[in-house]
């Protein structure tokens, strides 16, 4: 049975039993403590913890998940994967244990020709929380399981919580006995023979503070009992498809087959290669799904995880012997399998592939740069006489340059060197511990939303801002530091909740409105507006006059000029987005935006910089749309209707079933959007593009001013051109040629200055070579050159001095200069000095240490530098002292 069919049957089964089918939430998690959704119940947490009222009593979903804690273990075992899918059915105070067990058992055991999964009942077991006698009785009655096929387990294995105070409860799992070839009889801990594939959580208790899976107190029972289940889609797939592990199911294995064809190596022959094949297949699929949900490669948060997954896949292909770009072959293979369940991937594949291929190209360049750094590290290691590359070097290559450790090990072996893997792993462990500590600190700071929930229970805040800029309203409540407060006085800044408001809360890239809240003897300045929980609009406001209390009648008024400019910017963002797609094609899709009065920026999928003519064309298309005075309208519809209508949605955003679609000029611009807009495109005013830049692999950013800000910007530009024309005594249209001529003359002057300075430096060589200092038979020259001498000229000076000195005695030359505040030093030795077992590399390290830096090189010439120019004289003295010590020691 194909994985997509297992998925379809699950949703169909529960839909037929009164469950609302809820689409998967995007992979990026809205929880600040998490990067990605890691469980099927993630999007239902607000219902379970009481932050929001569930819109349905029971639901079902197949949630996309990514877990990366064990990323280094992927492929080494048959269990670790990054992307996976969790089938779930949920009850919010509706049915409980009996129905949950009944539904699960029926679907699992019902024959396949009747819509079930057709598992053999004789090999199925149930695990329960050790004192959950109710669940045991239900398994016996509903499933007919005997005592010897019901396993009692403790809190660690069969009791669930979110890891923080809140809902919790006992679990019951369905397990399958895979046979003696997978382990010993009744060995529940190993996890290979008795494989759990469906976990039923009976959410009935409230837990207190404490760590771990067992170290917390059960405080009591929930007022409403809930059901949360999770059936691992990939596990069911490999059980029903007759393969041994998740990597060999229909959604993953074709990538392994394609990787095998490309590399010429076979899967299933050598464990080391099998690990690499599995890494490739897992990570390519995960990358496909992450990019599909709007994640782009970067150096922080989810972007870093995606970058790491892509790079691990690429380098695994290299380690399999395939040196050419591989994603162009592997990503379409993964798409062919995943589009059966997620058809939107095919529609968006142009953008997805563009992002992925750009990252591969960037990583190939990184590998080239990393190889250069690696070569230097190898040279230094060999020069010191060591046979092992330091763990710190390997970690630097991995952490700073993205150089994989196994590639470092392989390349080091080619050079006859080992790698201090223990040192490397120790540094990696320290990094992980720091990351975990940061995560724990963030978790401890989990925002308390109880005050917001209390006010939300009094009703939804009505937003009137689409129709009006001022509204008579009433104060529903106020909060001070998150807690409901009875009053607030002049001078305080508090959060205010109104029954209705015209103030737009920050969302969709548009910042919040500003304005005033007025009342009898009251005057409040609105500083910010947010939606901390769904349905509640909260105004952060400074009380300028009076005492504020709940129940006060007030008049809420948005700053008119602020809103007008904000509408221009938001509508301008849609116009620029449509212009981008018209000029560049349908793959130039928005991946993020930010707009405030008079200014907009828009991130979009594109792999290369826009040339000036393309930027000008985009600007012209946008301004033509403005001039056409296109109608701007908004209407509500269901999400499926909006998608069928061709409305564009922002990647990674979660939308309600009812969505708002904003049109500008009909199908020319049709997007899901909750922001405020102008009535006609002409009201955007002037639009001028001010910049375009890269914000990550495959993602560009365009910035623009609109309305009065655009005119002000153009006015500043015009004044600048006028000033330059006057100073350079030329007409504006001749400025580019004039500036280019001046730049060329400046470069020529700098080159001449450099030549003169180098000649002046080298003039000193003759005099210095005539008067060396005798250091126990060694001719020693220690010279501090004038400030500003670069490394190249410093090296020339040292070699020139050495060439002028007599060869019948050993000679050591140390020259130093401070350039741009940073000291540099060069050491040169003649042949006789090296015969006396002196080495330039050793001596330059002595000097560099005094300069707060490091250095290295060959035995005859070495170069170094540092950050502390105050140590310059001491560095030269240290070299002299070391020479004397070495020749007399």
Cα(512)–Cα(498) distance, rounded to whole angstroms?
Answer: 16
Structural tokens at position 108: 């699992």
User: 348 forms bridges with which residues in the sheet?
Assistant: none
Q: Which residue has the tokens 């209705």?
A: 500
Neighbouring residues of 340: CB distance < 8 A, sequence distance ≥ 6: 2, 3, 4
Using DSSP's 3-state secondary structure scheme, residue 683 falls into: helix
Q: Is 560 flagged in the annotation as binding?
A: no
Sign of CA dihedral 369, 374, 377, 379: negative
Burial (CB count <10 Å: 0-12, 13-18, 19+), residue 455: buried
Distance CA 423, CA 425 (A): 6
| Rounded Cα distance, 644 and 875, in Å | 73
DSSP 723-737: HHHHHHTS-GGGHHH
Phi, psi of 293 (to 5 degrees): -95, 20
Report phi then psi at 316, rounded to 5.
-65, -35
Pull the structure tokens for residue 38: 């890691």
CA–CA gap between residue 172 and residue 126 (Å, rounded): 7
Distance (Å, rounded) from C-alpha 207 to C-alpha 219?
A: 5
Give the C-alpha separation, 455 to 537, whole Å. 10
Please, are residues 595 and 573 in contact by the beta-carbon 8 Å criterion? Answer: yes
Residue 580 and residue 594: Cα distance in Å, rounded? Answer: 16
Distance CA 826, CA 824 (A): 7
Burial of 288 (0-12, 13-18, 19+ CB in 10 A): buried
For residue 365, give the H/E element and its range.
Answer: helix 349-383
Radius of gyration of the chain (CA): 34
Separation of alpha carbons 335 and 282, rounded Å: 13
- Which element (helix H / strand E) includes 619? helix 612-627
* Rounded Cα–Cα distance for residues 494 and 486 (Å): 11
Closest by CA to 653, choosing from 579, 596, 590, is 590
- Alpha-carbon distance 762 to 718, whole Å? 49
Task: Say how far apart CA 718 and CA 740 lie, in whole Å.
Answer: 19
Q: How far apart are CA 863 and CA 824, in angstroms?
A: 8
Cβ neighbours of residue 80 under 8 Å, at least 6 residues apart?
70, 73, 74
- Whether the Cβ atoms of residue 195 and residue 178 lie closer than 8 Å to each other: yes
CA 650 to chain centre: 17
Task: In whole angstroms, give the CA distance from residue 694 to residue 276.
Answer: 32
Residue 766, classified by CB atoms within 10 Å of its CB into exposed (0-12), middle (13-18) or buried (19+), is exposed
The number of helices, as runs of H, and strands, as runs of E, in the chain is 25, 33
783 annotated among ligand-binding-site residues:
no
Query: Is 680 assigned a ligand-binding role in the annotation?
Result: no
Sequence-distant (6+) residues with CB within 8 A of 329 are 258, 262
168 is known to lie in a ligand binding site:
no
Extract the annotated binding site: 570, 574, 673, 677
Extract the annotated binding site for Zn(2+): 570, 574, 673, 677
């Amino acid at each position: 049975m194909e994985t997509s069919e297992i998925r379809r049957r699950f949703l169909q089964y529960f839909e037929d039993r009164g469950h609302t089918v809820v689409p998967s939430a995007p992979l990026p998690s809205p929880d600040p403590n998490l990067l990605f959704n890691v469980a099927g119940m993630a999007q239902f947490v607000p219902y379970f913890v009481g932050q929001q009222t569930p819109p349905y009593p029971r639901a079902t979903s197949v949630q996309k998940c990514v877990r990366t804690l064990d990323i280094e273990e992927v492929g080494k075992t048959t269990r670790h994967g990054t992307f996976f899918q969790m089938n779930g059915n949920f009850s919010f105070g509706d049915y409980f244990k009996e129905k949950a067990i009944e539904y699960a058992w029926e679907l699992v055991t019902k024959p396949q020709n009747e819509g079930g999964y057709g598992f053999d009942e004789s090999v199925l077991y149930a695990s329960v929380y050790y004192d959950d006698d109710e669940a045991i009785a239900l398994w016996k009655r509903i499933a007919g399981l005997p005592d010897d096929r019901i396993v009692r387990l403790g809190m660690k294995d069969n009791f669930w919580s979110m890891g923080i105070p809140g809902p919790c409860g006992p679990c019951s799992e369905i397990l399958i006995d895979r046979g003696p070839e997978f382990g010993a009889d009744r060995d529940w801990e190993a996890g290979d023979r008795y494989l759990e594939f469906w976990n039923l959580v009976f959410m009935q208790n409230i837990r207190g503070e404490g760590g771990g899976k067992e170290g917390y107190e059960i405080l009591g029972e929930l007022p409403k009992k809930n059901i949360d289940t999770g059936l691992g889609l990939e596990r069911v797939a490999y059980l029903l498809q007759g393969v041994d592990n998740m990597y060999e199911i229909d959604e993953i294995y074709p990538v392994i087959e394609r990787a095998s064809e490309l590399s010429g190596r076979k899967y299933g022959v050598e464990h080391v290669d099998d690990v690499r094949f599995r890494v490739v297949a897992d990570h390519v699929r995960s990358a496909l799904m992450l990019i599909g949900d709007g994640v782009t490669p970067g150096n922080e948060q989810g972007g870093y995880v995606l970058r790491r997954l892509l790079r691990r896949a690429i380098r695994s292909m290299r380690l399999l012997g395939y040196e050419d770009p591989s994603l162009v072959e592997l990503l379409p293979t993964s798409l062919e399998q995943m589009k059966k369940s997620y058809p939107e991937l095919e529609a968006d594949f142009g953008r997805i592939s563009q992002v992925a291929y750009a990252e591969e190209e960037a990583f190939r360049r990184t590998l080239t740069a990393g190889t250069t750094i690696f070569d230097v590290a190898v040279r230094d290691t060999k020069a010191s006489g060591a046979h092992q590359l330091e763990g710190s070097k390997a970690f630097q290559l991995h952490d700073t340059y993205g150089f994989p450790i196994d590639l470092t090990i392989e390349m080091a072996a080619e050079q006859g060197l080992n790698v201090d893997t223990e040192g490397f792993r120790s540094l990696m462990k320290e990094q992980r511990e720091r990351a975990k500590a940061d995560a724990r600190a963030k978790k401890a700071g989990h925002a308390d939303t109880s005050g917001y929930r209390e006010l939300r229970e009094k009703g939804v805040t009505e937003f009137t801002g689409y129709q009006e800029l001022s509204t008579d309203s009433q104060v529903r409540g106020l909060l001070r530091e998150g807690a409901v407060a009875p009053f607030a006085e002049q001078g305080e800044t508090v959060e205010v909740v109104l029954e209705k408001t015209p103030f737009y809360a920050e969302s969709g890239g548009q910042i919040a409105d500003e304005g005033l809240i007025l009342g009898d003897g009251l005057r409040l300045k609105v500083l910010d507006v947010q939606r901390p929980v769904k349905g509640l609009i909260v105004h952060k406001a400074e009380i300028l006059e009076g005492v504020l209390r709940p129940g006060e009648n007030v008049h809420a008024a948005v700053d008119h000029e602020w809103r007008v400019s904000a509408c221009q910017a938001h509508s301008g963002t849609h116009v620029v987005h449509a212009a981008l797609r018209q000029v560049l094609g349908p793959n130039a899709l928005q991946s993020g935006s930010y707009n405030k009065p008079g200014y907009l920026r828009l991130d979009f999928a594109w792999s290369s910089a826009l040339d000036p003519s393309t930027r000008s064309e985009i600007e012209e298309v946008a301004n033509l749309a403005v001039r056409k005075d296109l109608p701007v309208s908004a209407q509500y519809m269901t999400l499926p209707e909006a998608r069928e209508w061709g409305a564009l949605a922002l990647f990674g955003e979660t939308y309600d079933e009812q969505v708002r679609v904003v049109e500008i000029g009909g199908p020319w611009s049709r997007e899901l959007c909750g922001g405020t807009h102008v009535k006609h495109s002409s009201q955007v005013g002037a639009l001028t593009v001010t910049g375009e830049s890269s914000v990550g692999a495959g993602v560009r950013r365009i910035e623009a001013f609109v309305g009065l800000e655009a005119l002000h910007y153009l006015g500043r530009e015009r004044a600048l051109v006028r000033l330059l024309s006057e100073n350079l005594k030329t007409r504006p249209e001749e400025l580019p040629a004039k500036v280019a001529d001046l730049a060329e003359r400046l470069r020529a002057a700098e080159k001449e200055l450099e030549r003169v300075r180098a000649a002046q430096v080298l003039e000193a060589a003759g005099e210095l070579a005539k008067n060396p200092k005798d250091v126990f038979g060694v001719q020693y020259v220690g010279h501090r050159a004038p400030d500003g001498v670069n490394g190249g000229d410093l090296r020339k000076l040292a070699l020139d001095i050495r060439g002028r000195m007599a060869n019948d005695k050993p000679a050591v030359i140390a020259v130093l200069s401070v350039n741009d505040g940073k000291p540099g030093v060069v050491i040169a030795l003649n042949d006789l000095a090296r015969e006396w077992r002196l080495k330039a590399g050793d001596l330059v390290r002595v000097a560099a240490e005094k300069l707060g830096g490091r250095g290295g090189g060959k035995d005859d010439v070495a170069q170094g530098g540092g950050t502390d120019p105050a140590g310059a004289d001491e560095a030269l003295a240290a070299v002299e002292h070391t020479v004397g010590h070495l020749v007399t020691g």
